[in-house]
Structure 1
């Protein structure tokens, strides 16, 4: 990307400016309004200032003060690790830009004459040649994130690694928590690792294979599938029937995606098993199914994700309903999933 920018930008400074802007927007999954300076009608400004960025040897920390989806203005801190590759890297690109940036506070991204980089310039890439302007103007009809993802994957030459997270409310709310945290929906992985959240609140096991089939038709086979599903069925199905259904469907899944890594995220504790006539029996069924499914997963060449911290005794990890996880619970669940995926990816 940097080599291409040197050709189409009118100066070396502009090439470094746009390299930094592209890297921050792409790796941080930022909207244009969160990146470049914009004056709002209420007198406040949006966009990154120099003080919003902290550069460390191995990561870039960005404070997003407000955004379109942050109506209360709580802000968020995004941590972008160095890629360690020869291609685009947020740490390397921002460090090179800051080395030539004019001194003084104010907007992080500004031209050599001190004027800030604007939304229009970023979208249309002022300083690019006619061919590039014509190509990049398609940002009006495509999202910035999709464009940058395709552009970076093309530049890096890396094969996409698709990971599907499938499940009920646990997966749904974990996805929401990831988006609101520094990890983002991609769980902090490099751009070529594409994470899809296939969740539905209240999802039951009978929906599992139909959901997988639809996604296969849309995307083709993934590299890995994480399954967090079955707790909602523990009350409505007997232990033997549910265990049989899960084991059978996992074998079908393996036949559909023979090369994918299947991760079984163990059925979680609940403080309250709503609708259960005997919570003790339901808890016993949960344990038995986890043991049987773990054995099957290993036979199929998959792996198991345990959640030792999430126990019914840990009141702070659950919401008041005793079913869904609290913010701390979501953090614990995400931590276990990300750690297992990182180990599988070799990071």
Structure 2
């Protein structure tokens, strides 16, 4: 038994569907006509799904799967599950992002093939910047492209180093000018004098008076003295974290460069304070003694960033270096029990002082980073992976193959700033 929809009916239905897809709106009559034709065809589909046809060879072959479900139905169900995995707002954001990307490609006559090239994405970010859009909007649009690439199982160009740095540049370039005027002493007196009128009690007026006076004379923002979340019974006065960065000449060079940057030595992380301690040629074996001397003169740190080990590789065995790391961590935690230790990954080199075997030295470097990061994470600290330096690239280093170039130092500082911000604000364990 064979059930078919007449060819004329199929042709009429296809034309009607094509017309409906082009239109933005449908009249009630058009919608009723479409529904009726689809309903008619669905009768035949149900009938087909219940029968078994006979092939020309005379053997019976099922047109459906053993479970009684068409392959098309499986694909449809897979699409539904993928669609349900996204929240409604996320779905809308992805649709808008892809529409803007398509608009950009049409405007400049670019290919609509997927995956898009890195050059297309780079130009798209530049186009968004010229449209005066924020970096958050750019990130949202790039997320839609990345999600679509993952669905198609193709290479994601949005993860390219240049693309991420351009978005970071948008964030720093699009800072809005603060037009608010500062609170003067006379203005403060005027505000305090009116509190008895606007407050519900004498206690409330005194409370706000104390808060405003503290904020004014302590140079604090209201957000720094207010309760950040509901349900907290105590107000915590946030005066910033103290961060030590201890390391060799890489840290010393980074500190010199940081002072010349607009962000300054604190890497634009105020009110947090960074205390840079970089010493040329510093080794893990010497770091314990150096730390003990710093502990006698420096303020108690909340974070200690360790960028050590590069000068030890090839000179000592990995077993000895692991013992030195364990001993250093114990010493730090015995003096500052609540401090969070951050292990900053040792960078690659093209020239190692104690060995000419570059392959073996790079393997040893990765193993040392693995041990240092695992120890830091195990005691509640963090890992700064410095993934931009995953392998040696000449333009990021000086001619000696050890110290960073101007570009390499800028990237190192940007990564340090981003990592510390995530560690402090979000307690993220690892920054890549």
Place the TM-score, normalised by the shorter chain, in its bin: 0.5 to 0.7
Cα distance in 2 for partners of 1:211, 1:152 equals 40
1:308 matched to 2:382? The reply is no
> What are the residue-to-residue correspondences of 1:93-112 with 2, within 5 Å?
96=181
| Per-residue CA distance 1:92-116 (angstroms, 9 max, x = gap) | 4x7538xxxxxxxxxxxxxxxxxxx
Write out per-residue CA displacement over residues 313-343 of structure 1, whole angstroms, 9 at most, x where no aligned residue. Answer: 4211011110001111111211221111111
For the pair 1:161 / 2:241, whether they are aligned, the reply is yes
Map of 1:5-20 to 2, 5 A cutoff?
none
Distance 2:408 2:335 in 1: 33
1:179 aligns with 2:243: no
In 1, the alpha carbon distance for the partners of 2:334 and 2:308 equals 19
Residue 195 (structure 1) aligned with residue 274 (structure 2): yes
More helix by share: 2
**For 1:258, which of 337, 343, 346 is the aligned residue?**
337
RMSD: 2.8
* Alpha-carbon distance in structure 2 between the residues aligned to 1:231 and 1:303: 19
Give me the whole-angstrom Cα distance separating, in 2, the residues matched to 1:158 and 1:183. 21
| 1:52 alignment partner in structure 2 | none
What count of residue pairs does the alignment treat as equivalent? 209
- Looking at structure 2, the residues matched to 232 and 319 of structure 1 have their Cα atoms a distance apart, in angstroms, of 17
Match of 1:247, SS? helix
**Structure 1 pair 161/152, CA: closer, same or farther in 2 (3 Å)?**
farther
Deviations 1:242-298 (A, max 9, x none): 121112211221222111111000111112113314332222211111112221111
- The answer on whether the counterparts of 2:269 and 2:417 sit within 8 Å (CA) in structure 1 is no
1:243 aligns with 2:307: no
Q: Is the 8 A contact 1:203 1:232 kept in 2?
A: yes
Q: Counterparts in 2 of 1:1-347, with a 5 A limit?
A: 92=178, 96=181, 154-156=218-220, 158-190=238-270, 192-346=271-425
Conserved 8 A contact 2:350-2:402: yes
Conserved? CA contact 1:205–1:230, under 8 Å: yes
Residue deviations 1:66-93 (CA, integer Å, cap 9, x gap): xxxxxxxxxxxxx8998xxxxxxx964x
* Mapped partners of 2:239, 2:343: distance in 1: 25
Q: Tell me the equivalent position of 1:86.
A: none
**8 Å CA contact retained: 2:313, 2:354:** no
The structure with higher relative contact order (CA 8 Å, sep 6+) is 1
Higher strand share: 1
Distance 2:217 2:358 in 1: 49
The answer for unaligned runs of 5 or more in structure 2 is 1-133, 135-171, 183-214, 221-236, 427-432
Q: Distance in 2 between matches of 1:185 and 1:319?
A: 22
- The Cα of 1:160 is off from its aligned counterpart by 4.1
Q: Could you tell me the TM-score, scaled by structure 2's length?
A: 0.44
Q: CA deviation at 1:312?
A: 4.0
Structure with larger Rg = 2
Describe the shift of the 1:313–1:204 C-alpha distance in structure 2 as closer, same or farther (beyond 3 A): closer
Against the structure 1 CA distance between its residues 308 and 80, is the aligned structure 2 distance closer, same or farther, given a 3 Å change threshold?
closer
Measured in 1, the distance between the counterparts of 2:354 and 2:392 equals: 20
Offset at residue 153 of structure 1 (A): 9.1
Deviation at 1:203, TM superposition (A): 1.0
Q: Distance in 1 between matches of 2:286 and 2:390?
A: 26
